[in-house]
Structure 1
Amino acid sequence: MSEAASICFRINLLLVLLISGIGAFGQCPDSAFMHREWFRIKVQDSSRIKLEKLRTHWLRCRIPQDSIYIELLGELAWQYWQEKNFSATKQFAEAAIQGANRGVPNLKPKHLYFYGAYLVGMNQDQRAQQILQESIRVSRQSNQLEWAAAASYQLSFVQHSSGDYQAALNSATEGVHFARLAKKPHRELVSLYQQAQALVELNRLEEAQVVMTSLLEVTRRHPQLLIWEYYELAADISRKRKDYFTSRAYLRQAQELITPHQTEAQVSLAIVAGLLAENENQPDQARQQYEKALTIAQDPPAKALLYNHLGKLASYQRNYSLALQLIRKGIKSIIPSYDENQPINPTAKVIQSVSRKEYLFTLIKQKASFELLIYKQKPTAQNLAQALATFATADQMVDYMRMSHEAAESKLLWRNNTHRLYQQAIEASFLQQNAPLAFYYLEKSRAVLLNDRLNELSANQKLSPPLAEKELSFRIRQEQLLAQLQQHKPGTPTYTKLFNQWLNQHEAQQAFIESLRKSNPAYFQYRYDNQVPSITTIQQKLLAKDQAFVSYFLGDDAIYAIGITPDKTVLRKLPLTGFNHEADEFLKLCSSPDLRKTEVQQLQKRGYQLYRRLVTPLRLHSSRMIVSLDGAFLPFEAFSNSPTQPNAYLVHQQAFSYTYSARFLLRERPVSSWQKPFLGMAPEQFSASLKQSNLPGSAQSLTDIAESIPFAQTKTHQSATKATFLSEAPDFRILQLFTHADAHVSDHTEPVLYFADSALKLSELNINRPFRTQLLVLSACQTGLGTNQTGEGVFSLARGFAALGIPSTVTTLWSVQDQATYTLVEHFYQQLSEGLPQDIALQRAKIQWLNAQEHQLPYYWAALIQIGSTTPIENPSVIPAYAGIAAGVILVIIGLLMYRKRTATTVPHP
């Protein structure tokens, strides 16, 4: 080709390209055409390929990215979600939110909700909760309450999956509230359903029944919204309430709503039917239901449940090998990579990737239990080691799930649910004679909520004063609003107003906590610290030369005890039969001021039986003993070491102190700066509305104690008010209260402490600033009593103060005799002033009282017990006195120096 021809070819090619480019640009439609195309594709064929072409055309032609374009991005996210292309789903969902941020803010709530829902399905629960909470916040700001309702439902689902059932209940309640305001009955129904599910898990069946009645009432007004799941849940609630006739009726109604093609519905109904058959003692019928459902089940959680139920049925027939095999199949249904033919457990990384951890936890817990039973049938070291390995995995899962629980009610429920797990883990450790491991599980089984609360206090100390104050103010306001909210009926104007205030506060608190997570990692490290001290740590850091630590665990069929001294450890399995009767009768006799001769003999008998049961088998001959009991405290000092010798109380040989756990004693508490030495309060007379009897002599006793403590402050009579206590008490080293208390609690009441003008509830202690107090002496009736929460301990006033950071409390186990108590407390302070450890000071005070009295019955002296640290309390008079002397000396020296200087520089007169 000639050069001229070549140039001509190039020019023609450029012209073709230019013309084609102009043509292509000229083919770009306007926004109206693109909108029509979007609606045409939506109506006729919303395939992802056509949607992608439309988006590409939209971008190439530079059409404004308006609300329709954002809806297009949202639809693409949905299409990719259906294809399980989660990275693309996330990409387009985030793009839709960003587009709404740029110019169409009214679309943001909707797309935040969908993004949160996608994240739930991707098992990114933490991020999902953040997005869903943001959706609720933005929805409320823009008054798009339908999306607030939808996001609340999804949030409730996530919280339910993590086991935080109280938080799930709160979110579902929000969803119901928003749905009713938005007049969206379909949103209301799903939140009511989630609300009822949470109540079932919390074992609040009567409330769940009320919610289901409300739910079914809504479906009667909107029958097109009725689905089989509602009757299924109603059937399960009735089953758990032991109303089997109604349960079967609901099951029939659910069956009528499903078709033969709805296999997962058939599976769910079969599970409820199988459980109902088990309740009615028809195991063969239950097995048939489960096996039939298993042939058609596809949903992994449903298959896991079926294998779990079949495994339990096999265990009832003592076929533990089959039971274990079925449990392994259940684990594989949730974790496809799991090898069901191997005894190994899922790794920590795999466990954390599972979305419905509550299903996996149930299976792991059952696996450990069956492996232990297999060991009992065939006791080999390998079988026992495998059981212990699975218990370790279950314990690890408890920690994973606990970190996601914020509501105290959920934490209490999990303490109860895990009590048997830890009982079996302790039993397996005992069978291996592994005292360190048994001690680990024993510590993990108790006072977890108390430890969490003290962790929060420690974490707050890692914050700057402004941040710590802000965190506290959030918590106080949240609890105040929640308490007010519970006093009003849903739907009333006051309830709605308080609900909105609570929700605003909740959203602000969550945003604040999330900011702390990023800016203060040390805060979260301390907040979720769950380390357990070792036996070696106990021996080195806690025990003195002649001191022992004893911890007891009450199982279903035995008591496990661990005794630790500086040079040895003892692990024992003690008989449980008859223990509860002995302990109850002993406490009843101890708390009686007048006993007949036969009752005194019975008291001695029971005290000796408890001594032989709990103390003698450990063979610890220490003069000081720290006791950690599972549940209510018993006054060990009132036990008898002789079946015949009267008044042979252990108080004469040993000093006893008590604790909620070893962790409680070993907590590192900040060294307080300058503290006021002593505050005593004695109302003596009470407001007539409180209906409390006078306490004559209490003010005088307080005055006598305070006279030996320089700079002590006292509040007596009308100055001993609740407000004074709450505002001033946290700054004193020692607090002394002579007053009344009430620990006769029910489901609707709580322990209270009385002041001259009003009563202080246990819950009110949680909303005040932490105490810097080292010792609190509660000289009031029953301050050590309260509701016993399985796996957690007694929720008493003493424990409430412990949760504020007070390391040591002297409290009472029953209604005490006034004059005896005044004298004992006075003796205690006398002994304490000599620098003695608190347990020895209280022991000597009791012996001093016994030596001077004819009345030797425990009623008069044994009610007072010491809980917590026994470290000697620095004499309150020392620091102020020395400070005063030092200040005086300094002033004298300064004065002399100034005088000498002035004298030296004065010119003498001529």
Structure 2
Amino acid sequence: GNVYLKIAQTKKALSYYQKALICLIPDFNHTNYQINPDLNQVDLKKKLIEVFSQKSLALQKLYLEENKSKETADLCMATAELGIELIDRLRKEFGADTDKQFLLAQSYQLFEVAIEMAFESKQFEKAFQLSEQSKAIVLYQAIKNKQAERLASTDETSLERLYQIRYDLQTCSAKIRDERDTKKLNELRDRKFKLNRKYENLIDELEKNSDFKKIKEELPSLSIADIQTQVLKSNQAFVEYFVGKNDVYAFYFLPNATDLQCKKIPWTDSLQKAAKEINSNIYQKENTAYIKNARLLYKELLATIFTEGIPKRLLLIPDDVLGFVPFNALLTKDIPSKQLKNFKAYPYLAKNTIITQGFSATIQWEMQKKAKVSDGQVLAYAPGFLDPKTLQEAAVLRSQFMNLSHNTEEVGYVLKNFKGKAICDEKATKKHFIHHAHNAKIIHIASHAKVNRLHPDLSYIAFSNLEDTTTAAVIMYIEEIYNISLNAAMIVLSACETSIGDLIPGEGMISLARAFIYAGAKSIVTSLWKVTDRSSCQIMGYFYTNLKNKQDKDVALNKALIRYINKAPDQNRAHPKYWAAFIIIGNTDMLTISSFPLALIVITLLFFGVFIFLKRRKRKLRHV
């Protein structure tokens, strides 16, 4: 079928795709390509997804060949939706997240065909729902899974036991992967077997709760009205992108509008090149290329949508390589030749628009919900690192981290505005984080991080190696973060490229930021590339001052970036390399955390109450 499709013999290709369905489905024998099987009679097979995907693609081509026949359009949509329904059923059968991600990546073409057909028939809301269905579904399920576990657990102790076993399983698996000694390997495998039995028993107990499975398998049901009333803030616009093979679909609301609109943007070679290169252009200070790409991306992705002016506040859901684009640094106007080195005066989008980003509108909705967060205060980590030159050769291979000159100063700015604890130098260990982070309301980490794009689960954030240089004690991998439980209202990852990771079609970037959302964070401030700790320190100081002044998180970050640009000591330090990496994802409501410990407030009020009581009693005794 693929051969005939390639040489434009579309109906011949369709006949072979139909034969493939007959081969894969025992009770299906219809040779007419206009007839699709009933999924209730189908054994779930991954190979079927490819057949439905190719058949829908062939029908899409036939639709164009037949002068856009409505009958063919309906059959194409029905075939694509059948494939998407099969994906959903298969997804429930898969246990590992990596298997689900692979499944979505393989089936992305189905969503693209379905969205195109919905767009052609001007069913914009349906096209948007398909776009949402294709995005970050594994992350969404992880969030729902944790909600189900919390609901079904009888107490906090049983929930903590579940998370601990899950973490121990992950740690054990990592040790098995690295162990070479046969005896130790067998011991680890035996331990993993026992941990699996304990974990299965705990899950069996949770499944006795009737709501557990229902919540765990609940599919997104976000309506347009939900986005307008529960996700967007007043005067905030919305745009979500779906990147196809030939076109980008932009779904958007104007501020306070009621109608969803959709625009198809040609995914030209020049636009793709700009999206892929602008990150590097900024970091390498390739200013001519940066200006060219920043203008092109602005014009094609935003100006063509918001024709009457860019909104003051925007929730933006990128897709595919658009996740690498620093939208804050896009340029709204051309740069006069005399102003090319005046970086403070550049017309950055950040100067006009406050931007929040998200993995999907549904994930944003979940993060916006007023779920219970920790009543704790701030934990601010500033790990210290040994000079690699002082380490033995074997240790250097594990821990090549230079000491960060300004990270202790940075956490000082945090605690100047919010009461909490600074965990610095040798105390800022991975062990401390694992044992204390779940009680914090705000977590700030000023450290090193590293992205592994070939093996995203091996991306990590680093903690202090001053007392222990072993990998297990210093490095926290993404897969470890997945298996901890956090209740933080906000996590700030003031480290290198924490928002960048491997791109998986249908799931987005597998990044450290995503891992912390997976673990339970309600909002994340993260970075798209390596930022000097000097610049990061200044920006974070402004950011926390703004938060203390009761500004919403997105407003606080935007104003911090603008203040950094305006106060930069010279034009060089105002370059977007030093500030445009920072983005905010998730719930942007202002923080309600007290600047003083709750216990201190309670004790003070009690003392004052007792004092008034005794004073009044003394007066009464005098009268007597």
Bucket of the pairwise TM-score, normalised by the shorter protein: 0.7 to 0.9
**1:409 CA displacement:** 2.6
The equivalences for 1:294-693 within 5 A come to 311-333=1-23, 334=25, 336=27, 339-341=30-32, 343-347=34-38, 351-378=39-66, 379-463=68-152, 464-465=154-155, 466-488=157-179, 492-517=182-207, 519-565=208-254, 566-567=256-257, 568-576=259-267, 577-592=269-284, 595=285, 599-619=286-306, 621-631=310-320, 632-645=323-336, 646=339, 647-667=346-366, 669=369, 671-672=371-372, 675-686=375-386, 688=388, 689=395, 690-693=399-402
For residues 721-749 of structure 1, the C-alpha deviation after alignment (integer angstroms, 9 at most, x for no partner) is 22222211221111122222222544397
Would the alpha carbon gap of residues 554 and 467 (structure 1) be closer, same or farther in structure 2, given more than 3 Å must change? Answer: same
When residues 338 and 834 of structure 1 are mapped into structure 2, their CA distance, relative to the original with a 3 A threshold, is farther
Structure 2 CA distance for partners of 1:746 and 1:391, relative to 1, 3 Å: closer
Query: Which has the larger displacement, 774-783 or 614-623?
Result: 614-623
Encode CA deviations 1:231-250: one digit per residue, 9 max, x unaligned: xxxxxxxxxxxxxxxxxxxx
Cα distance in 2 between the residues matched to 1:579 and 1:617: 14
Q: Which residue of 2 aligns with 1:697?
A: 406
Deviates more, 1:719-728 or 1:364-373: 364-373
Q: TM-score when scaled to structure 2?
A: 0.87
Listed as ranges, the matches of 1:743-892 within 5 Å are 743-747=451-455, 750-757=458-465, 758-768=474-484, 770-853=485-568, 854-855=570-571, 856-877=574-595, 880=597, 884-885=600-601, 887-892=603-608
Distance 1:876 1:552 in 2: 38
Task: Tell me if the contact between 1:439 and 1:535 (Cα under 8 Å) persists in the aligned partners.
Answer: no
Secondary structure of residue in 2 paired with 1:888: helix
CA displacement, residues 511-549 of structure 1 (integer Å, 9 cap, x when unaligned):
5434543x1221111212222412232122111232122
> For 2:373 and 2:10, how far apart are their aligned partners in 1?
60
2-structure distance, mates of 1:318, 1:630: 30
Q: What is the one-letter code of the residue matched to 2:432?
A: T
Structure 1 residue runs of 5 or longer lacking an equivalent are 1-310
Cα distance change, pair 731–375 in 1 and its aligned pair in 2 (3 A): same
Cα 1:627–1:470 shift into 2, 3 Å: same
Q: CA deviation at 1:681?
A: 1.6
Question: Structure 1 pair 482/721, CA: closer, same or farther in 2 (3 Å)?
Answer: closer
Distance 1:623 1:783, change over 3 A: same
Amino acid at match of 2:490: L
Question: Against the structure 1 CA distance between its residues 699 and 356, is the aligned structure 2 distance closer, same or farther, given a 3 Å change threshold?
Answer: closer
Q: Distance in 2 between matches of 1:701 and 1:476?
A: 30
Q: Is the 8 A contact 1:338 1:346 kept in 2?
A: no
Give the match's secondary structure for 1:719. coil
Q: How far does residue 607 in structure 1 lie from its aligned partner after superposition?
A: 0.7
* One-letter amino acid of the counterpart of residue 530, structure 2: S
CA displacement at 1:509 relative to structure 2:
3.4
Q: Which residue of 443, 450, 471 maps to 1:735?
A: 443
Whether the aligned pair in 1 keeps the contact of 2:295 and 2:333 (CA below 8 Å) is yes
User: Which is richer in helix?
Assistant: 1
The structural deviation recorded for 1:619 is 1.6
Query: 1:815-834: per-residue Cα shift (whole Å, max 9, x none)?
Result: 11222211111111122222
Structure 2 residue matching 1:622: 3-state secondary structure: coil
| 3-state SS of paired residue (1:784) | coil
Query: Residues 257-311 of structure 1, C-alpha deviation per residue, up to 9 Å, x if partnerless?
Result: xxxxxxxxxxxxxxxxxxxxxxxxxxxxxxxxxxxxxxxxxxxxxxxxxxxxxx3
Name the CA shift for 1:523/1:467 in 2 (closer, same or farther; >3 Å). farther
State the distance in 2 between where 1:627 and 1:801 align.
20
How many residues get paired?
Answer: 584
> What runs of 5+ residues in structure 2 fail to find an aligned partner?
340-345, 389-394, 466-473
Contact 2:279 2:324 in 1 (8 A): no
Quote the offset at 1:436 in angstroms.
1.1
Structure 2: which amino acid aligns with 1:700? E
1:363 & 1:611 partners in 2: Cα distance? Answer: 38
SS, match of residue 93 in structure 2: coil
More contact order relative to length (CA 8 Å, sep ≥ 6):
2
Tell me which amino acid in the other structure corresponds to 2:280: K
Tell me which amino acid in the other structure corresponds to 1:765: I
Instruction: Note the C-alpha offset of 1:508.
Output: 4.5
CA displacement at 1:341 relative to structure 2: 4.1
Which whole-Å deviations, capped at 9, do the CAs of 1:295-336 have from their partners, x for residues lacking one? xxxxxxxxxxxxxxxx33332332322333343344345253
CA 1:498 to 1:736, structure 2 compared with 1: closer, same or farther past 3 Å?
Answer: closer
Secondary structure of residue in 2 paired with 1:455:
helix
CA 1:489–1:373: 2 relative to 1, 3 Å = farther
| Aligned partners of 1:444 and 1:532 also within 8 Å | no
The separation in 2 between residues aligned to 1:808 and 1:815, in whole angstroms, is: 20
Amino acid at match of 1:732: A
Q: Does 1:713 align with 2:431?
A: no
896 and 507 in structure 1: CA distance in 2 versus 1, 3 angstrom threshold: closer
| Preserved CA contact (<8 Å) 1:752 1:759 | yes
Return the offset for 1:873.
1.6
CA–CA distance in structure 2, aligned partners of residues 624 and 695 of structure 1: 34
Distance 1:382 1:818, change over 3 A: same
SS of corresponding position for 1:425: helix
Rate the CA distance shift 1:713–1:604 in 2: closer, same or farther, 3 A. same
Distance of 2:381 and 2:180 partners within structure 1: 39
Q: What is the Cα deviation at residue 344 of structure 1?
A: 4.7
- Partners of 2:524 and 2:386 lie apart in 1 by 24
Q: Secondary structure at the match of 1:559?
A: strand
Give the 3-state SS of the residue equivalent to 1:386 in structure 2: helix
State the distance in 2 between where 1:673 and 1:644 align.
Answer: 45
Q: CA deviation at 1:390?
A: 1.9
Equivalent AA in structure 2 for residue 412 of structure 1: Q
CA contact (8 A) 1:535 1:564 kept: no
> Identity rate of aligned residues, in percent?
23
Which residue identity does 1:364 align to in structure 2? F
SS in 2 for 1:461: helix
1:672: Cα distance to partner?
A: 2.9
Instruction: Give the number of the structure whose alpha-carbon radius of gyration is greater.
Output: 1
CA distance in 1, matches of 2:524, 2:202: 34
Distance 1:886 1:520, change over 3 A: closer
Residue 572 of structure 1 and its aligned partner are, at CA, apart by: 1.6
Question: Partners in 1 of 2:312 and 2:623 — Cα distance?
Answer: 73
Note the 1:2-151 alignment, pairs <5 A.
none
Change (3 A) 1:501 1:676: closer
In the TM superposition, residue 858 of structure 1 has moved relative to its aligned partner by 0.6
* Structure 1 residues 353 and 687: CA distance shift in structure 2, 3 A: farther
Alpha-carbon distance change, 725 to 322 in structure 1, aligned in 2, over 3 angstroms:
same
Cα distance change, pair 759–469 in 1 and its aligned pair in 2 (3 A): closer
